[in-house]
Amino acid sequence: MNNNIIEVKNLGKKYTINHHRGNYVALRDVLTAIIKRPLFFLKKKAKEIAGIDTKEDFWALKDVSFNIEPGEVVGVIGRNGAGKSTLLKILTGITPPTTGEIKMKGKVASLLEVGTGFHPELTGRENIFLNGAILGMTKREILRNFDSIVKFAEIEKFLDTPVKYYSSGMYVRLAFSVASHMEPDVLLVDEVLAVGDTEFQKKCLGKMEEVTNKQGRTILFVSHNLSAIKRLCKKTILLEKGMVKMFDTTEKVIGHYLSISTQNAVNNFEFDQNKKAQVTRVSIKNKNDNFNSQIPIEEKFYIEIDFEVLKQTKAILSILFFSEGDILLLSSESDKDATIREYLPGKYKTKVTVPSHLFNVGMYFFEIRIHRPGVELIDFKQNINFEIKDSNDNPHSIIFNGEHSGKIATILDYQTKKIND
Amino acid sequence: MTNVTIIKPKKVLSLRDFKELWDYKELLYFFVWRDFKVRYKQTIIGIGWAIFQPFMTMVVFSIFFGKLLKIPSDGVPYPIFVYTGLLFWQFFSSALSETSNVLISNQAIITKVYFPRLILPLSSVATKLVDFAIASVILAGMMVYYGYTPHLSGLFILPLLLAITFMASVGGGLFLAAINVKYRDVRYVLPFFIQILMFLTPVIYPASIAGKYSWILAFNPMMGVIQSARAGILGTAPINWTLIGISFMACAVLLAIGVIYFKKVERYFADIA
């Protein structure tokens, strides 16, 4: 009898491509297809039944196995599409696996989003009960923690106001507060900290730390935020193309991850019909307008953002630059004039110029956001990376021998005069 | 740490599903509670809406079908006759159309949290049951107005009739909900389909006009329900137990098909939603 609290064995998840894209079909189309080409349809059905279907399969997860002991806090990292979210969705039971088995001991709770099921018409008090129940708390648990939830969220005065009148800050605070009062043995957490402002993220991280340290809970934490992973998790799983690439101490895994990250200059993103605006493609171009994500330090480069607006909205496009999880720079299109643009439906392309010598030699990540600061995060795409390279004709590297330290490489102007005789 | 969660590739249906449903009964309660709260906050006339809808329909039907067309009503005042039918019919039709949309309207929750998905359709039908209770107050009022004494025997079969209606709307609703996730254009056809079904069901006319073939109509579960409700409560005819039996069987089959199809499609709701 082993001691593992989570056992994952040979887990696999297969999507046929049309499921995976999230496309749904219209019955009308299916019917017309049958009427127009009945033989073709029959043949296709027969093939499907016989299993010699031509549909393309896609394994989002393949042969994933790992064990986690009680009280461990384990991070899960990987590039977009590596299977992180799929793994979490299977662990939480939202979608069943195609192969393999998972055993988890004790009460399992998941937190894939804060405020799931919040209803704008209901009051704060009512939403605490509703959200709590959806998250799997019993009425008794909610009642026991009620005062503490209200206190942490700091909404005492607005307890009986419908949440549609709440500021976005209050809304998120309440949502997180309910979620953080879950009392499971195993907690599965996804990207929750991606919402809210930096201040709030700090508060959440603090609370998460408290939860992990004090109560000895087992937590699986999926995130792009490497600094959060570093802070919270002792061990980390690195997923790559649906498989476990590495499972070791966080330090080792993050180090490895940063070093192997492939250099993709063009990043395409899946289209989501439900978002009113979204980034569809982000590419990195060098000074000659060629796709390249390895940029010599002395050259400027461009970030090209393609986005599509489906519903008219006010929004700002922002880029957050990270290095090992710390924010280096938050840059917005509104930085110059401090106004929020009104975007009409349509396709847009933005070209951002990043000056030379801004970042020092090294690996950087950035995140694109379409948002209304403090109001709503419409879309965000994370984990796009580029590398600043040292090159031979860089005069600085001659002097510093490539050992120029720090993250920023801006060249400052030095004017020295001799002022005594 | 007593309970162990095991996640495996899913079978279509197992006994565990029903046990799980029981474990989540509190969430079912919360969903009904939510729908109800929201409903009566959003509409200004509040509870009035649950009464207003069948009442106005009854008034319009009474004027056109009762007064002008003189449709027979088995010797009962036409408003009472038609309202009894409408009461059950609207419970069934509103539950059916609500349930068929339930997975789409709760998409945000379905893709983020796990709970037995069967809870959602069940809760929306249960919500309609509360509407039914409110609307039946009007029937009592009308009986007082017309000086009509209800037959006590009818009140005994009321729970049975409600159970059949419940089963029929859950069964049909589950089936439609699952189809709706797969084929998103089904919901546009549904209102039309429900309307046609109303005319095939003896809501505005007595089943007696079908004569000796009325037993065929009994395969439409709602026909048996409405017919028996009138027979029981209004005493238009002796209660026909064969009819109720056929309706009950038809419902049970509908429910079984609905549950099995729903469970079959349930596996990939979260993937295609």
Is A233 part of a structural domain of the chain?
yes
**Beta carbons of B5 and A24 less than 8 Å apart:** no
Please tell me the distance from the alpha carbon of residue A258 to that of residue B16, in angstroms, as a whole number: 44
148-177 in chain A: CB under 8 A from chain B = 162
Is A411 part of a structural domain of the chain?
no
Residues A197 and A278 in one domain: no
Residues A240 and A189 in one domain: yes
Cβ contacts below 8 Å, chain A against chain B, sum to 122
Is A329 part of a structural domain of the chain?
yes
Q: Is B188 on the interface with A (CB under 8 A)?
A: no
Is A418 part of a structural domain of the chain?
no
Please tell me the distance from the alpha carbon of residue A372 to that of residue B254, in angstroms, as a whole number: 49
Degrees to nearest 5, angle at CA A410 with A407 and A414: 130
Which residues of B fall within a CB distance of 8 Å from A134?
27, 30, 109, 113, 115
Is A382 part of a structural domain of the chain?
yes
Number of folded domains that form chain A? 3
At B50, phi and psi to the nearest 5? -65, -25
Which residues of A fall within a CB distance of 8 Å from B268?
19, 95
pLDDT tens readout for residues A164-198: 898 877 888 888 888 888 888 888 888 665 555 56
Residues A157 and A277 in one domain: no
225-254 in chain A: CB under 8 A from chain B = none
Please tell me the distance from the alpha carbon of residue A32 to that of residue A28, in angstroms, as a whole number: 6
- In sequence order, which residues have a C-beta less than 8 Å from that of residue B268 and are 6 or more positions away? A19, A95
With beta carbons less than 8 A apart as the criterion, state whether B166 and B125 touch: yes
Please tell me the distance from the alpha carbon of residue B187 to that of residue B273, in angstroms, as a whole number: 15
Mean residue pLDDT across chain A: 81
pLDDT at B197 over 80: yes
What percent of chain A is predicted at pLDDT more than 90?
19
Residues A281 and A376 in one domain: yes
Is A44 part of a structural domain of the chain?
yes
Residues A205 and A345 in one domain: no
**Beta carbons of A116 and B268 less than 8 Å apart:** no
Residues A197 and A50 in one domain: no
Residues A253 and A332 in one domain: no
Residues A72 and A56 in one domain: no
Residues A310 and A227 in one domain: no
In CATH, what number is assigned to the domain containing residue A361? 2.70.50.60
**Beta carbons of A134 and B115 less than 8 Å apart:** yes
Please tell me the distance from the alpha carbon of residue B97 to that of residue B125, in angstroms, as a whole number: 10
Note the pLDDT of residue A355.
Answer: 93
Residues A323 and A355 in one domain: yes
Range of the domain at A390: 266-400
Q: Which residue has the higher pLDDT, B237 or B272?
A: B237
| Residue where one domain finishes, among candidates A260, A286, A305 | A260
Report which of A253, A129, A151 is spatially closest to residue A207, judged by C-alpha positions.
Answer: A151
Residues A52 and A78 in one domain: no
pLDDT at A216 over 80: no
Largest CA distance in chain B: 71
Q: Is B112 on the interface with A (CB under 8 A)?
A: yes
**Beta carbons of A95 and B271 less than 8 Å apart:** yes
In CATH, what number is assigned to the domain containing residue A109? 3.40.50.300
Is A152 part of a structural domain of the chain?
yes
pLDDT tens readout for residues B243-259: 888 888 888 999 999 99
What is the ipTM score, two decimals?
A: 0.80
pLDDT tens readout for residues A360-401: 887 788 999 999 887 888 898 888 888 887 765 555 544 444
| Residue where one domain finishes, among candidates A260, A288, A314 | A260
pLDDT band at B13 (very low <50, low <70, confident <90, very high): low
Q: Is A133 on the interface with B (CB under 8 A)?
A: yes
**How far, rounded to the nearest angstrom, does the alpha carbon of residue A89 sit from its chain's CA centroid?**
14
Q: Is A110 on the interface with B (CB under 8 A)?
A: yes
113-142 in chain B: CB under 8 A from chain A = 113-115
pLDDT tens readout for residues B135-194: 888 888 888 888 777 777 777 888 888 999 999 999 999 999 888 887 878 878 888 988
Q: Give the torsion through C-alpha atoms of A105, A109, A110, A116, to 10 deg.
A: 160
Q: Which residue has the higher pLDDT, A294 or B42?
A: A294
Is A410 part of a structural domain of the chain?
no
Residues A154 and A52 in one domain: no
Q: How far is B129 from chain A (nearest CA, A)?
A: 21
154-183 in chain B: CB under 8 A from chain A = 179, 181-183
Per-residue burial over B163-192, b = 16 or more CB atoms within 10 Å of its CB, e = otherwise: ebbbbbbbbbbbbbbbbbbbbeebbeebee
- In sequence order, which residues have a C-beta less than 8 Å from that of residue A395 and are 6 or more positions away? none
| Residue where one domain finishes, among candidates A44, A60, A76 | A60
**Beta carbons of B1 and A105 less than 8 Å apart:** yes
